[in-house]
Structure 1
Amino acid sequence: MARIEHFNNPEAPKPNSIVVAVTVFVQDDQGRVLLIQRTDNGLWALPGGAQDFGEYIAETAVRETREETGVEIEVTGLVGIYTNPNHVVEYSDGEVRQQFSICFRGRYVLGDPMTSEESSAVRWVAQGELEELSIHPSMRLRIDHGFAPRADPYIG
């Protein structure tokens, strides 16, 4: 399914859904962040996705990271909660989703990065390499917050 991100775009379609979703900021022992290149829009992003029925939200973070990257993690904290109403995602099936994303901090447990149906590339990325990648501004905000030594999670 194709996906178009609208960010601070007054011409964006009006949202017709809000879905609880997660992203996960996890680093390896060299301080690099785990990123995927999405198959639906080609952009680089943190692993993540929507919560399933019967699932604790931290379980969503672990499951989505495993499904998209092949890497096992454990949730250790919270980077932030991202609810900007001026960020909507338009899907080819007609859904227009207002952003509601919880970004967790995770600890690498085991596994080697590998692709999936949702990721055409998966790799550990150093902070200095981020400028070379196509990353949506809202995702870049989460990544920057993950790298920042914040005492409290971002809420916005």
Structure 2
Amino acid sequence: MANSATPLHSVSVAGVVVREDGRVLAIRRTDNGTWEPPGGVLELTEAVEDGVRREAYEETGIKVGVERLTGVYKNVTRGIVALVFRCHPEGGTGQLTDESTAVEWLTPAEVSERMAEVYAVRVLDALRDDVAPCIRTHNGRHLLGE
């Protein structure tokens, strides 16, 4: 039984889908107009990688293969822990959905220009070749302790 001292967190997943030419799949969200990699809340009964595949497909129409965990990001303001995975496209055609007003393949430079710091860093971390996932904390707008 949870009490007031028990932290409550939400877990989200996101897929940084990288094409062979190095471009990255991104959406402009319907609810807030921000550019982000596709992702969302992990369902209670869902395996983590299944959640990544579901969110990417629901938001973009692209089927993805999950490669590896590239980062863990905690939003201390909202109590959200995001697990971010590097993925590759396996099929489908980018399309708008109820959750996206734009679906585009962006260059890393375009990611830095269009995405807020806390989302751009997730994409740029996923493009790194080292195997260890990055672990970062932010307040919803800016990285903390960096």
Task: Give me the TM-score of the superposition, normalised by structure 1.
Answer: 0.78
Gapped regions of structure 2 (runs ≥ 5): 1-6, 137-146
| Counterpart residue number, 2:34 | 43
| Counterpart residue number, 1:148 | 128
Which structure has more relative contact order (CA 8 Å, sep 6+)? It is: 1
1:33-79 deviation per Cα after TM superposition (whole angstroms, max 9, x unaligned): 00000111111000000111221011000000000000000111011
| Counterpart residue number, 1:33 | 24
Paired with 2:31 and 2:41, the residues of 1 have a C-alpha distance of: 15
Task: Give me the TM-score of the superposition, normalised by structure 2.
Answer: 0.83
Gapped regions of structure 1 (runs ≥ 5): 1-15, 89-96
- Map 1:55-70 onto structure 2 (within 5 A): 55-70=46-61
After TM superposition, which residue ranges in structure 1, 4 or more long, deviate above 6 angstroms?
Answer: none
1:65-106 deviation per Cα after TM superposition (whole angstroms, max 9, x unaligned): 000000000111011111142xx3xxxxxxxx3221000111
Alignment pair present for 1:79 and 2:70: yes
Kindly indicate whether the alpha-carbon contact (under 8 Å) linking 2:61 and 2:92 is maintained by their aligned counterparts in 1: yes
Paired with 1:39 and 1:17, the residues of 2 have a C-alpha distance of: 27
| Counterpart residue number, 1:52 | 43
Alignment pair present for 1:117 and 2:98: yes
Matched residue SS, 2:69: strand
Paired with 2:111 and 2:47, the residues of 1 have a C-alpha distance of: 31
Q: How many residues align structurally?
A: 130
Paired with 2:112 and 2:123, the residues of 1 have a C-alpha distance of: 12
